Amino acid sequence: MSTLVKTNNLQNNIGYLFIGIWLCALIGFHKTYTIFFPSFKGFHWQHHFHGIMLMSWFAMLIVQPFLIKYGKNDLHRSLGKLGYILAPLVCYSIFLVTKIFYHNELAATNENAALAQLALMVPPIFVFGLFFLLAMLNRHNPEAHMRYMVGTSLLMLGPGLGRALMIYGNVSPSLTVTIVEGLAEAIAAILLLNDIIKKVNIKPALTIFIFLLLFHAAWVFRESEVWLKIAKWFVTIAF
């Protein structure tokens, strides 16, 4: 009984983590995006579409746990159906800005450098989709469902916090990636440790932790022949 109560406390209050990640996004993208309102000179429709999709996803992430906390379960389930539309659109929006980013990098540097940088942008398309799929497959298991939704949010920690560190902290891009990906992994590790201690099914938290490590590994080995071949294959079939 005590395990159930503690697990519910985690589920009820996870919305505050989502709010924190959302605030990082607002701060990080202020000087690189929102400050250019209303003209947004130099931006494409794909950037706006991406921003709208991510903000919509954050809105759903933040609202859903509080609906559960305050007993609005029917509304929670109804709103959750929106995820079936939003999640694919989020993945598509990441793909669109990745394509723009790749061609800009290709024009400014060279093919291998552009392919290497895709290590930050291509994996989230698939990992986000995987986490959402697992969340929906476990929609009748609140503990597992919530953890996979947390996984989708951790993928969004890097872009906002990373920009904030580089702009306001003058942190180098390379160190920034190490910090933000390490932080996401640390949060996943804490969640995993909590589940081990509370004797909750560790499969969801362990899955999230492993895929975040793989995401980080793609960046660490971004200049390796293996990654460059993977990125080249993706560019060939998708761009």
CB 198 within 8 A of CB 7: yes
Domain boundaries, given as residue ranges, for the chain: 2-238
The answer to whether residue 1 scores a pLDDT higher than 70 is no
CB 88 within 8 A of CB 114: no
Cα–Cα distance, 99 to 162 (Å, whole number): 20
The answer to whether residue 39 scores a pLDDT higher than 50 is yes
| Cα–Cα nearest to 60, from 143, 152, 147 | 152
Q: What is the pLDDT of residue 126?
A: 97
Mean pLDDT of the chain: 93
Tens digit of each residue's pLDDT (9 = 90 or more) over 51-101: 999 999 999 999 999 998 888 999 999 999 999 999 999 999 999 999 999
Query: Identity (one letter) of the amino acid at 128?
Result: F
The answer to whether residue 121 scores a pLDDT higher than 90 is yes
